[in-house]
Amino acid sequence: MELDLEYPLMASSEEEAVPALFAQEIDHMPSQSIFLPFNSSDDHHVFSVRREAFSLISHAKHCHKLNPFTTYLAVNYMDRFISKTNIRMPLQEKKRWIVGILAISSLSLAAKMRNNDLSISLSHVQREEGFAFHPGWVHRMEALILTTLGWRMRSITPFSFLNFFISLFKIQDSSLTQPLKFRASDIIFDTHYEMKLLEYKPSLISASALLCATLDLVPMELPSLRDAILSCGHVEKEKLLKCLKAMQEMVMDNSLKASGAVSICTSTQNSILHQFTSSETEDATAKDKIKRRRLNGFCDDQAVQISQFQPC
């Protein structure tokens, strides 16, 4: 059965599915020790593996027009695997080989979960990047990822919560419901590269993206959506504020890069965001901005030695 990221659980009803999503979402996140400070050169190598593997997956998506939900799922597998794995980094010249097999195997698993045939596209990606992985090695890496993730492959992602949060409030113009959902989905895709968002639960990322989308499309509806989301007992207000702040900065930064502008900040955006932001969280947010993070998350009881893999 094809995995639908909006409905990852095979529940008999929505009333049964929503509580299960909130209860299980933490099992589909990277290990939280990923956010400890850098303290060794190996940590920087691991961080660069994540960055380069993400870049390769992103390149494959854009150049071969891969389904964005499939590539998002692949990155989810990759992030969870790296954060739960004691990656013993090999010599620098072998790092690119590891990046390649990790990215290709994550894409392959995601494609299988969504019933997409990416065999031709993945072959093209390998040739473009100078790789020539034997299928047996890709299968072995897939098995390693599956084992490390405990076979939890029906990932709960931010997309799984969009319909729920939209249903919490009654927008005056119902024709804007779908545009809001599409805009929120675009924001989730566009900010997936940023490691700081890995700190937050998928539900918080989903709620933040929907709030950002509302600010973009129907800013006067923001207070209504804000109150509806805060009324949900599953949402932690302080963490939502931090996630929203981080995402809004990323959305603004992406807009600036796209327009080539040096700065843009309207009084309307500031006044509306101020309604959702409290002074109690501003200091904590500022500290979060300067906090150095690492992509580590080592598990003492599961040291996977990727350096044992050798090019074919």
Q: What is the CATH number of the domain that holds 118?
A: 1.10.472.10
Mean pLDDT over all residues of the chain? 79
| Interval 280-297 mean pLDDT | 39
Residue 285 domain-assigned (yes or no): no
Residues 46 and 115 in one domain: yes
The three-state DSSP-derived secondary structure of the chain is CCCCCCCCCCCCCHHHHHHHHHHHHHHHCCCHHHHCCCCCHHHHHHHHHHHHHHHHHHHHHHHHCCCHHHHHHHHHHHHHHHHCCCCCCCCHHHHHHHHHHHHHHHHHHHHHHCCCCCHHHHHHHHHHHCCCCCHHHHHHHHHHHHHHCCCCCCCCCHHHHHHHHHHCCCCCCHHHHHHHHHHHHHHHHHCCCCHHHHHCCHHHHHHHHHHHHHHHHCHHHHHHHHHHHHCCCCCCHHHHHHHHHHHHHHHHHHHHHHHCCCCCCCHHHHHHHHHHCCHHHHHHHHHHHHCCCCCCCCCCCCCCCHHHCCCC
Residue 197 domain-assigned (yes or no): yes
Q: How many domains is the chain built from?
A: 2
Residues 142 and 180 in one domain: no
Residue 290 domain-assigned (yes or no): no
Residues 85 and 149 in one domain: yes
Is 229 a residue whose pLDDT tops 90?
yes
Question: If you average pLDDT over each of 12-16, 169-173, 219-223, 240-244, which comes out highest?
Answer: 240-244
Residue with tokens 């700190």: 199
Query: How many whole angstroms separate alpha carbon 207 and alpha carbon 211?
Result: 6
pLDDT score, position 88: 55
Q: Which domain holds residue 242?
A: 176-277
pLDDT score, position 117: 87
Residues 185 and 254 in one domain: yes
| Interval 226-232 mean pLDDT | 90
Please report, rounded to a whole number, the percentage of residues in the chain having pLDDT higher than 70: 72
The pLDDT confidence band at residue 306, using thresholds 50, 70 and 90, is low
List, for residues 21-74, the tens digit of each pLDDT value.
999 999 999 887 655 544 444 556 667 788 889 999 999 999 888 999 999 999
List, for residues 96-108, the tens digit of each pLDDT value.
888 899 999 999 9
List, for residues 134-193, the tens digit of each pLDDT value.
889 999 999 999 999 999 999 999 999 999 999 887 777 778 889 999 999 999 999 998
